[in-house]
Each structure stands twice: as C-alpha cells, then as structure tokens.
Structure 1
Amino acid sequence: MSAGEENIATPGEILGDSSQFIAGKGTYLAPNGRNIHASLTGQRRLVPPPADSAEKRLTVEVVGHKTRGAVPEPGVVVIARVTRVMARMASADIMCVESKAVKEKFTGIIRQQDVRATEIDKVDMYQSFWPGDIVKAEVLSLGDARAYYLSTAKNELGVVSAQSIAGATMVPISWTDMQCPSTGQVEKRKVAKVV
C-alpha cells in the first residue's frame, strides 16, 4: 500500500507494524506495542510525514463513513412527537435520543399498559396524549420490526409540551391536566413531572 492509497478497513483489523507506520486517527496501537489496528470501519489512508519532519514513517489512519445519528436503545430516554392516538396505543416519531437528535426516522409506540405505573386498566389513551404532543419517554424494547416500545410510566416521563386547540403552548397544572394560558381551557394529558 502506498501513500494516498485507500481501501476499506474494519474494527480490529491489523493495518501495519509500528516500525513502519505511526498510528493516526481511527486507529490504535495494540498492547504488544507493534501492531496498529483499525478502531472503526472506514477508508484506510496513508499520510506522508510533513516535509520538515525528521520522522520518515507514514501515518496510517482510518476515516469513518458518514457518521450515524443517535439510535434508540432499551433504557434510554427519548423525546418524541405523537403522530396518532388509538384506543390501545399511541404512535410517535422519535426526535432525540437523550440529548442527541436522530438523523433517521424511528417510530415508537406507547401501549396502554405502558402509559403509567398504577391503575393501568383505567388508562384512556385519548386523555393521555394528542397528536402533536411532545413526549419524554423511555425505550422499553426494540418492539416489532416497525417500532420501538416506549414507556411513560415514571413520574418524570410523559407530555412535556402540548398545544391547545387555540394554538397556545399549554401549561401543566397537575399530573393529568394542562391548561391553555389564553383561553383557560383545561385538557387531559399524562403530564411529565418537571424535575
């Protein structure tokens, strides 16, 4: 392989010997101090030393493919926008995983039994969420092929932002109610506790 030459490297792959190369970005030196391994998948590249450098070895580096956005995993908290509400579940588009925005479209489903921790049989989906609500939820599992299963069964999870029929951003007034500041109308929601 010569300077400027590129090809694909995968994590753990040996890229060369430290007697011939310097470990650059996307690589690491093995504990034996000799082998240089790739730490990510991407293009392998050899970079010549600067002209004014005494170093004669080439630097081997791996430049990763386009970085992926955050991906939901079980146990992490996500922010999602409710898209549909049905009798037994609500579907939502996941917008953020913890504090990172997602780059791909991920769909989540909040099932009736995952809305709150108590009185599960009394949960009314239409009094918990409305389309357009912004919800803070925890990823329960990968669910089925189409959607992640989400839960709002903790106090700090639930609706964090909602618009009233009048178009104003509503203010939470209890665990189950939000009020429109312009009309004073109260609407039912599964409200997230502000921490």
Structure 2
Amino acid sequence: MSLLKLCVPGDRLCGAEDCIPGTGTYLRHGYIFASLAGYVLRKNEGEELPIISVVKETEAQLLPDVGAIVTCKVTSINPRFAKVHVLYVGSTPLKDNFRGTIRKEDVRATEKDKVEMYKSFRPGDIVLAKVISLGDVQSNYLLTTAENELGVVVAHNEAGIQMIPISWCEMQCPHTHVKEFRKVAPVQSEYLQA
C-alpha cells in the first residue's frame, strides 16, 4: 500500500488498464478519476492489478506492508527475539504505534544458529528492518535484518553517548573507545531524519 498525492474531484488518477477503481473514484472513458478530495491510495490485495482509492486525511494512515523498509526502536530483548516499536515506513512517520518482533533466526542471513540477541540489539537502539509478515491488533509485525543494509543505525552506550559503527558487528563510543556488539547497518542518507 502506498500513499501517492493529494487530489481533488475530477483529477485523472490513471488508466483503467493500470488499476482497479476503488472507493472515492469513478471510471470514465478508460480512465479512473477522483470523486473526492483527499489522498490517492494504491493497494495490492492479491489481484493482478492494484486497487486505487481516494481517502480523507484521517483515513490515510500508512501501514507497514510486506517488503516495506521500516525504522523501529528496540523496546526489549530476550535470547529468542527483540521487541520493537515501528516508527517510520520508509521516511513517513506513523501516527499510531505498531509493534514488531525480530526473531533470532531473522537477524542475519548466514550463521543463524550463532546469533546472540544481546550482541545484535539493545533496548533503545534504532533499527532499519524489513517487514516479512503482517501483524494485526493482537500480534506483532514480523521483521528481519538479514540483509547487509539492515540493522542498527543508532545506538547509545550506558552513559547515553551515541556510538559510531566501526564494522558490521561492532559500534564504539567516541569518548571512551569502548566497543559493543551490534548487527550494524551502513547508514543510508534516504532513511536519515533531520
């Protein structure tokens, strides 16, 4: 699912061969038009073509989708998984709280049996992850960091000082030079927030 842009009634959204018309739209002369003022929403629901709709701003909450890159904050860890709160989908901040889980087997792509959660994440770490399974009201989103560009992007030591990455598996305090283990992601400017 992706939010595209603002539109007003009568705006031409796309051709009928590209999408299926949804709520807040109408079909005329082979094109899909907006019948409401709001945000254009494009959503794949298993059909061969995505459904295009127009929703009001209050309904336009972006949701994490399978394959989406999300930024999250680690809230707790145990030997089997890390619990996180999803903060952003791509660079879009979320209005609601979404919980996620990164399982031990989803931390790295290789040597999964050697992963130790406390050497990968700590509470308070900011992590870049990918959604691999959707959650609902009762359950969490299932996330993975098993790609080179995914993992911890911001971490602080016990004293609250932000550490800097020195390898794919270590971060270091710039003041004390104490090293701590993490599953480090190389920082990509497109995901940094000012």
Matched-pair identity in % = 47
Q: CA deviation at 1:68?
A: 3.0
Does 2:162 match 1:165? no
> Where in structure 1 are there 5+ consecutive unaligned residues?
1-22, 42-61
Q: 74, 78, 81: which is aligned to 1:86?
A: 78
Give TM-score, length-normalised by structure 2.
0.70
Partner residue in 2 for 1:97: 89
Number of residue pairs matched by the alignment: 153
Does 2:126 match 1:129? no
Q: CA deviation at 1:40?
A: 8.0
1:71 and 1:166, CA in 2 relative to 1: closer, same or farther beyond 3 A?
same
- 3-state SS, counterpart of residue 28 of structure 2: coil
> Where in structure 2 are there 5+ consecutive unaligned residues?
1-8, 12-22, 39-53, 189-194
Does 2:145 match 1:187? no
Partner residue in 1 for 2:169: 176
* Aligned-residue RMSD, C-alpha: 2.8
1:190 and 1:37, CA in 2 relative to 1: closer, same or farther beyond 3 A?
closer
Given that 1:166 and 1:183 are in contact with CA atoms closer than 8 Å, whether structure 2 keeps it comes out as no
Listed one character per residue, the Cα deviations across residues 99-149 of structure 1 (whole Å, up to 9, x for unaligned) are 100011100100000000000000000100000000000000115632000
Give TM-score, length-normalised by structure 1.
0.70
- C-alpha distance in 2, partners of 1:108/1:162? 18
Structure (1 or 2) with the larger CA radius of gyration? 1
Q: 143, 146, 151: which is aligned to 1:150?
A: 143
